[in-house]
Amino acid sequence: MAIALRLSRGGAKKRPYYRIVAADSRSPRDGKYLEQIGTYNPLLAKDDENRVKLDEDRARYWIGVGAKPSDRVHRFLDAAGILERAARNNPKKGEPGEAAKERAEEKAEKLKEAEEAKAAAAAENDATGSAKTEDTAEAVADAVTTEDGDTAEEKAAIAEQTAEAGLPSGDGEKTEG
């Protein structure tokens, strides 16, 4: 008969409580067991001494007889210093998936292209001098929209009309004409 040291669940729905038991490996999880050797209450804080209670003498006996602990019980036995557990290493676990890698590559390419375009624009700006800067400033001023919804060009046209008509510019009311 193969013996396993494992957890047997008890408690209410969403309120788990486990017995650490020595059971026949063929019996159901919460079924018949040979002996209860401890308890595990996952609802308690990790540093609480009552979270895991284990009868060390009985655990050593069952391991000596050939019982195989489940992974979780093996962790408890390792923490108690009864049975050493080899640390596991899965370097691929933290690695992003294929789709995430593709998105990262696309983002890096776009960033690289933007930097190259910025560098090319800066080099072209240095080569053409300040004339290019003045042209850019005019283009920006033309595209800027004021609070009234008029563009800078429309404002300039209105200012010229008022100057030709001899009306004071600025505070005066707008006249049709």
Mean pLDDT over 147-171 rounds to 63
Query: What residue numbers bound the domain in which 111 lies?
Result: 107-165
Mean pLDDT, the chain, rounded, equals: 82
Q: Are residues 12 and 71 in the same domain?
A: yes
Residues 19 and 76 in one domain: yes
Number of separate domains in the chain: 2
pLDDT, position 165 = 67
0.75 surpassed by pTM: no
> Residue 52 falls within a domain, yes or no?
yes
Q: What is the mean pLDDT of residues 163-171?
A: 59
Residues 57 and 122 in one domain: no
Predicted confidence (pLDDT) at residue 9 exceeds the cutoff of 90? yes
Note the pLDDT of residue 150: 60
Nearest partner of 157 among 137, 128, 177, judged by Cα: 177
Rounded CA gap, 4 and 9, in Å?
15
In a domain, 87, yes or no: no
Mean pLDDT of 36-50: 95
Q: Looking at the structure, do residues 76 and 13 belong to the same domain, yes or no?
A: yes
Per cent of the chain over pLDDT 70 is: 73
Report the alpha-carbon distance of residue 100 to residue 13 in Å, rounded.
37
- Among 26-35, 81-90, 116-125, 127-136, which stretch is predicted with the lowest mean pLDDT? 127-136
On whether residue 145 sits in a domain, the answer given is: yes
Whether 177 maps to a domain, the answer reads no
Residue 142 confidence (pLDDT)? 52
pLDDT computed for residue 148 by the predictor: 56
pLDDT, average across residues 65-92: 90
Residue 171 has pLDDT above 60, yes or no: no
Domain membership flag for residue 75:
yes
Q: Are residues 24 and 66 in the same domain?
A: yes
In a domain, residue 13? The reply is yes
Same domain, yes or no, for 56 and 121?
Answer: no
